[in-house]
Amino acid sequence: MLHRKLYQLCCDGREVCIFLRDQQRWIDRAQILDIEGDLVTLRYESDEEDEICAWEEMVRLESIGAVSQKLASIPKGNVEPLVCEDCPEEEKIRKIHPDSDRD
């Protein structure tokens, strides 16, 4: 099951976060490059002492404990999200007024 999901993420080229059980660490913003047998090839970047380092790492499928991906992000604060005017009515974000819940 995990093998199939990793293969799908690899084909889609999606950015993922992967937890390695044997090393007890997360690899953030990684891209799955290849899956061959039980080896998964990952590429990711890290900031180390004023340098951005690019890494390519091969890990065993059995050492992967969890995989997550960001679905969406919304800025914090009092920011109005941009909405396309051509959006269908059922997909538009409706403003919720705090006084309307009191009825």
What is the model's pLDDT at position 85? 72
The pTM score is: 0.67
Residue 58 — left, alpha, or beta (φ > 0 → left; ψ -120 to 50 → alpha)? beta
For 33, the token pair is 């490059």
The dihedrals phi and psi of 18, each to the nearest 5 degrees, come to: -125, 130
Print pLDDT tens along the chain (103 aa): 888 989 999 999 889 999 999 999 999 999 999 999 999 999 999 888 889 999 999 999 999 999 998 887 777 778 776 667 777 777 777 777 666 555 5
Contacts of 92 (CB under 8 A, 6+ apart): 83
Give the CA count within 13 Å in the CB-facing half-sphere of 57: 17
